[in-house]
Structure 1
Amino acid sequence: MTTLNVFDTRSWIGRFAEESENQFDALTDLDRLVGDGDFGMNLRSGLRSATGRIAKDPPGDPGSVFARVSDAFLDTGGTSGPLLGLWFGQIAAVAGDHVTATQLASAVDTATVAVQRLGNAQVGHKTMVDAMVPAAESLTAAAAADAGVLDALQAAAEGARRGAESTRSMLARRGRATYVGEHARGVEDPGAAAIAMFFAAAQSKGITA
């Protein structure tokens, strides 16, 4: 697949929502160890709302799909809701019926910078940013090498997964995980895990070359 269309984007978000249901318990358990235990619920609630909004008012292009997701998260509670709402809102800036890897990479990079600015988080702070940044970097590098969207998203998924896994050894510098200190070591950040899940969902059944 060289570009991303509205049908692919809807399928992608649908699979992300399905995975949030499948991983609800795992994400909740992670957040109980490093936070207040509501991340799984907030992610699931946001994505249930997003898929409902998409079904009720079908978007006509990829950017509008991401906009529905953004609106849903902005209406979701917890710390993660506004951050994910901002992130998807910036990604929603992609224009056109067929989004290229270059367009998507630019939007994801802008979105990640916006989240870093709002949350005052950097790589190494044990937050979702630890997955967002390597995903954005990998997506940008793949796009620069003239990769199609599917290959670029595979690179982003690999980068996000590495970033999420790296949080296990970190001492938290931002968020509620800072309250538990050393007890957070060895635990993957649930926000970073969710970002990895999002990009991995693009590689699942449904999007084809």
Structure 2
Amino acid sequence: MNPKLNGRNMRKAFDSQVYQVMIVANKFQTGFDQPKLVAMYVDKKLKGVECIQTLSRLNRTCNEKGKDTTFVLDFINNPRDVLDEFKVYYQTAELMDVSDPNIIYTLMESITDAGIFYWEEVERFVEAFYNKKTNQAQSINICKPAIDRFKQKYGEAAHSIEETQGNLKHITRDSDQINTQRYEIQLSKVKERKDRLDI
């Protein structure tokens, strides 16, 4: 399920800078302590202890790792049902800040505007997804052009920020106010470009 692990231990791979998304079925629902774990995407029904143990993988922030919040996007479970499961074990459990389900459309607009995917690629993926003969490698292959586009655009944006910050630092040192202002505007624009890709 996780390509490019190349035989590495999944826990160690996930702790690196390179491997930042992990897809699991029932693995690590209990006993997986990774302070950098920030977000979880749930696409299966969770009940009882399994519900508590799974969602508790995100049970704390970790400031030294730059983790000041946690996030769960659940495609299956009703928030009230999850709250009821937690109340069995935690009497003070309460429901707060349930996301607007329309946020997924905002996300779609964001990656569409960024030119990450083409609609024919989406249609090909949907067709493959519902075809029982499609294997994992074929599904990944359909997604690869969009992944490569994202990596390229993100890399270019990050490089532009680094380059502009370097220029700004050099200009500021020379007390060149006109060019300082120009590079500050440019930096703001390239940061905005990268922010649109931080999805």
TM-score (norm 2): 0.34
Higher share of residues assigned helix: 1
TM-score (norm 1): 0.33
Higher relative contact order (CA 8 A, sep 6+): 1
Larger-Rg structure: 2
